[in-house]
Chains A and B, each alone.
Chain A
């Protein structure tokens, strides 16, 4: 058994810093590179892409990235784990295998984790008595049944562990938890048992710290952002794990950014609910038992984490179509910038009423004044300029489209000193809403397979 393994975060979301994954494997020692690509909305986008072309439905960025990374990753023995397979992990695997063949890399083993996509099974499951009620609102699935676009179960670390046991150098999954990507290599290398709750919780906490990339290493750091050096070359986080589940959070020597107790604390508190009950498919981690200690510059030790037994359910993430929105902006300059923007908003609303257009919501915000802090915003005084931002939402795409045509006329038919309409008319975009539910673990089986280039 290795005395320590280094798990490096390469992406915090689909769209993150493109140089980060290569930096992670080229600028210092790492054993695993983990890349999280999936937000709630991402699966529905991928589902639509696959409907148009059955070969698509995964994070397309991953394939050119592999073209760049693979030679170095193979040379250094770095294994790569990603949930970028989206709704088509097999398509993603095939694309990666052909890249490997083009690059002349024989013997590369690429594993996939399947079985998370339950969209084709929804009718069978619902008629079999699985309720799939919204776990937040309690509403019945019947409310949205005909509008569902994607339905995926969140798997955890264990299917990835199985792929690693089968020798996979690259593991591509569909909907896997962000934390499972980081926990899996630790559980695999150190042989952690499926009921060793404390160790699984420690690896899960490390996964939570790594899952947003640079947000653990000085990015978006509110305590003292000026103190973070060289954000231009920010190093993404690395978890150095020991078999006893003591884990050091760090980054490569010479990279920018900062790893401190404070940067790690901010990330620990990001997007959590009850900290004593951080529920994943693998365990329940108790964030109130986490100990942090600064052991050297840019090295924070994480220890003493306690876990509890995993629940009997998987979370299901479903998405459904939910109407249309459009958002448009106009910029008003001094004098009376805010007063003029408010007047323009009133004129716009009156014209929309005259047209008999009905919206679920019309929302007005003033960028430069209140769009972030709403009624908490301080009196802005005599603003140099302000951006009027108006958004509408309706089940009727034609109403939303017509709203987009009413904004530009304000330039010639409203208050003076207005600009900033270069982008053209706002177009309707379809709303994809999110439906979280639970399903008994016994009804869903992950399916792991490995192919060789």
Chain B
């Protein structure tokens, strides 16, 4: 079935220089394995093409049923240098949650 990430997760994003971080949290513990399986570095790198010019790195927090992504070179230089309206990547969490994923698992919402 095809789902949008926002159905199974919530997120918060922020900045550190020109790097954005996006924390993605499973809405239920049973969704966490789905995040691990489908929300890979490659998938996220592809999702953010045109926004993230550097490398995507993933870290896992099983205790919080969450994953954290670092998106390098994503903020137009960061800080006061950036010409972006969203120079601090505040809305990139929501941009992540737009992602559509085809999953093998059956979920009911």
- Point out the residues of chain B lying under 8 angstroms from A136, CB to CB: 17, 19
**Contact indicator A291/B23 (Cβ below 8 Å):** no
**Contact indicator A262/B50 (Cβ below 8 Å):** no
**Contact indicator A272/B23 (Cβ below 8 Å):** yes
- Point out the residues of chain B lying under 8 angstroms from A389, CB to CB: 85
**B61 contacts A by Cβ under 8 Å:** yes
Residue-wise interface mask of A (253-268) relative to B, using a CB-CB cutoff of 8 A (1 in contact, 0 not): 0000000001001111
- Point out the residues of chain B lying under 8 angstroms from A268, CB to CB: 23, 64
**B83 contacts A by Cβ under 8 Å:** yes
**Contact indicator B59/A274 (Cβ below 8 Å):** yes
Residue-wise interface mask of B (52-66) relative to A, using a CB-CB cutoff of 8 A (1 in contact, 0 not): 000000011111101
- Point out the residues of chain A lying under 8 angstroms from B15, CB to CB: 271
Residue-wise interface mask of A (268-279) relative to B, using a CB-CB cutoff of 8 A (1 in contact, 0 not): 111111111000
Shortest CB-to-CB span from B25 to chain A, Å, is 5
Interface class of chain B by DSSP: mixed
**Contact indicator A376/B79 (Cβ below 8 Å):** no
**Contact indicator A373/B94 (Cβ below 8 Å):** yes
- Point out the residues of chain A lying under 8 angstroms from B70, CB to CB: 273
**B34 contacts A by Cβ under 8 Å:** no
Interface residues of B in 70-100 (CB under 8 A from A): 70, 76-81, 83-86, 90-91, 93-95, 97-98
Known: A222-B93, A273-B16, A372-B91. A262 touches B10 (CB 8 A): yes
**Contact indicator A220/B12 (Cβ below 8 Å):** yes
Nearest residue, chain A, Cβ from B83: A391
Interface class of chain A by DSSP: mixed
Known: A41-B79, A222-B12, A374-B51. A272 touches B21 (CB 8 A): yes
Q: Which of A290, A292, A372, A392 contacts B83 (CB 8 A)?
A: A392
- Interface residues of A toward B: which range? 35 or more
**A195 contacts B by Cβ under 8 Å:** no
Q: How far is the CA of A41 from the CA of B15 in the complex (A)?
A: 13
- Interface residues of B toward A: which range? 35 or more
Known: A270-B23, A374-B51. A365 touches B80 (CB 8 A): no
**Contact indicator A325/B80 (Cβ below 8 Å):** yes
Residue-wise interface mask of A (312-334) relative to B, using a CB-CB cutoff of 8 A (1 in contact, 0 not): 00000000001101010000000
Known: A223-B25, A274-B59. A265 touches B64 (CB 8 A): yes
Q: Identify which of A220, A262, A269, A323 gathers the most chain B CB atoms within 10 Å of its CB.
A: A269
**A375 contacts B by Cβ under 8 Å:** yes
**Contact indicator A265/B66 (Cβ below 8 Å):** yes
**Contact indicator B86/A372 (Cβ below 8 Å):** yes
Q: Which of A287, A367, A392 contacts B61 (CB 8 A)?
A: A287
27 chain-A/chain-B pairs, Cβ below 8 angstroms: A136-B17, A220-B12, A222-B10, A222-B11, A222-B12, A223-B10, A223-B27, A224-B10, A265-B25, A265-B66, A269-B12, A273-B70, A287-B64, A288-B63, A325-B83, A361-B77, A367-B85, A372-B91, A373-B98, A375-B49, A376-B98, A392-B83, A429-B80, A433-B79, A433-B80, A434-B17, A434-B78
Interface residues of A (CB under 8 A from B): 40-41, 136, 220, 222-224, 262, 265-276, 287-292, 322-323, 325, 327, 361, 363, 365, 367, 371-376, 389, 391-393, 429, 431-434, 436
Taking A220-B12, A292-B64 as known contacts, 11 extra A-B pairs with beta carbons closer than 8 A to each other, sorted by chain A number, are: A222-B11, A222-B93, A223-B10, A266-B10, A267-B12, A268-B23, A272-B21, A373-B51, A374-B50, A393-B83, A433-B81
